Amino acid sequence: MSYFTHLECAVPCGAGPYDPRQRQHLCTCGAPLLARYDLDRARQWSPRTLADRPSTMWRYADMLPLLDDDEPVTLGEGFTPLLHARALGRTLGLSRLYIKDESLNPTNSFKARGQSAAITRARALGATTVSVPSAGNAGNAMAAYAARAGMAAQVFLPRDAKAPFVRECALYGAQVTLVDGLITDAGRLAAERGGPLGWYDVSTLKEPYRVEGKKTMAYELAEQMDWTWPDWIVYPTGGGTGLIGMWKAFEELERIGWVRPQRRPRMVSVQADGCAPIVRAFAQGTERAEPWANAKTVADGLRVPRAIGDFLILRALRESGGTAVAVSDAELVADMQEIGRHEGVSAAPEGGAALSAIRRLVRDGRIGSDDTVVLFNTGGALKYLDVLP
């Protein structure tokens, strides 16, 4: 049973509402659509029900985009560990550093959450072929969930995508197209090819449900922290779906009465020196982010020169009193190793980048020694072993 009711423009521009029983992608104004729920009725839903729920993100099904008798397309995603990183924290002078370890998801990254939700709706809407442009992990996740749902998958990757991303797509039977350029170029080609063929496009925020899957990271944090918020959430930001989703979840959790209104976490977007459009826009105080030219970083998930949800990311950073930090490839690779050495956690370059950002904010006196800090390790190291020295 879900309280899901309709879709709404994220701006909001006044168009809509949009009917989730039809395929919906963007608002007529070009902005992403967001799923809305009957939050007043949802106040009946009690956290006590969670004791009997599956240990996946679908434990929060009441606030996920299910209609009628929809069954989730699931591979056991979510409800990942929140690890108290005492040893790593000590090296930084932090007593309350936590790692949300998203590498324990299917396909080894947080992308599983978004795809589980997106493919669930795609199946309900009768899609038979799904497509996505990806830096790597989102393509792997989509391929896996499409296989699980019995759909054909078309994944568009930059030509220089690492071999493990390409091979993992093939393992799930997906068709891979390598595209000259970056994820934005891949997106263009995917739309061009798939449009006439009726492929269901699950590009970041061009369909409204990946953000719903990603928002469960905040539901879990709240549950794991006993319905309070940490002081800081430090989040590697490419397309930013997770950050947007968590910001949305804070609102929902307050509105349904599960978290009493309190200071929300300061949100920190972490990007790489070689591709930092959000960091630049945050510093310049603009509402949107200019596309980044010549994007380059070993953290593939951060190599996103333009995010369609940029204004939502920037809004969350500012409203939360957070910030945006860019780190170098050398720093983030060294910090993958620090996470491994001190905590035994397998961190993707993006996870390493989050640690580098925390290091910077501690040094600058922004993060205090008793602050509760959550580092999002968005994926594991296994697809990136070549970046290690």
Can you give the binding site for its own copies, defined by CB under 8 A?
51-52, 55-56, 74-76, 79-81, 83, 87, 101, 103-108, 143-148, 150, 163-164, 167-168, 170-173, 336-337, 340-346, 380-383, 385, 388
- Quote the least distance from Cβ 178 to its own copies, whole Å: 17
How big is the chain, counted in residues? 389
User: 322 or 380, CB closer to its own copies?
Assistant: 380
- Quote the least distance from Cβ 336 to its own copies, whole Å: 7
User: 90 or 288, CB closer to its own copies?
Assistant: 90
Q: Which residue has the tokens 């940490």?
A: 230
- Quote the least distance from Cβ 247 to its own copies, whole Å: 25
Could you tell me which of 246, 213, 241 has the C-alpha nearest to residue 229? Answer: 246
User: 105 or 320, CB closer to its own copies?
Assistant: 105
Q: Which residue has the tokens 């998203």?
A: 102
Burial of 337 (0-12, 13-18, 19+ CB in 10 A): middle
- Quote the least distance from Cβ 340 to its own copies, whole Å: 4
3-state helix, strand, coil split of the chain in percent (to 5) is 45, 15, 40
CA distances, 231 to each of 106, 156, 262, 271, 307 (Å): 29, 38, 11, 20, 26
User: 56 or 271, CB closer to its own copies?
Assistant: 56
User: 98 or 311, CB closer to its own copies?
Assistant: 98
What is the rounded CA–CA span in Å between residue 34 and residue 46? 24
User: 104 or 357, CB closer to its own copies?
Assistant: 104
- Quote the least distance from Cβ 162 to its own copies, whole Å: 11
User: 322 or 349, CB closer to its own copies?
Assistant: 349
SS3 call for 250: helix
- Quote the least distance from Cβ 227 to its own copies, whole Å: 15
User: 60 or 79, CB closer to its own copies?
Assistant: 79
What is the rounded CA–CA span in Å between residue 292 and residue 275? 6
- Quote the least distance from Cβ 134 to its own copies, whole Å: 16
What is the rounded CA–CA span in Å between residue 65 and residue 42? 13
- Quote the least distance from Cβ 40 to its own copies, whole Å: 28
Could you tell me which of 275, 278, 289 has the C-alpha nearest to residue 324? Answer: 278
User: 51 or 293, CB closer to its own copies?
Assistant: 51
What is the rounded CA–CA span in Å between residue 237 and residue 221? 18
Within the chain, strands assigned E span 4-9, 33-37, 82-84, 96-101, 129-133, 152-158, 175-179, 200-201, 232-236, 266-272, 323-327, 372-377
SS3 call for 31: coil
User: 79 or 229, CB closer to its own copies?
Assistant: 79
Strands 372-377 and 96-101: parallel
- Quote the least distance from Cβ 148 to its own copies, whole Å: 4
Per the structure block, which two tokens stand in for 76? 């056991």
Q: Which amino acid is at 168?
A: E
- Quote the least distance from Cβ 215 to its own copies, whole Å: 19
CB 348 within 8 A of CB 301: yes
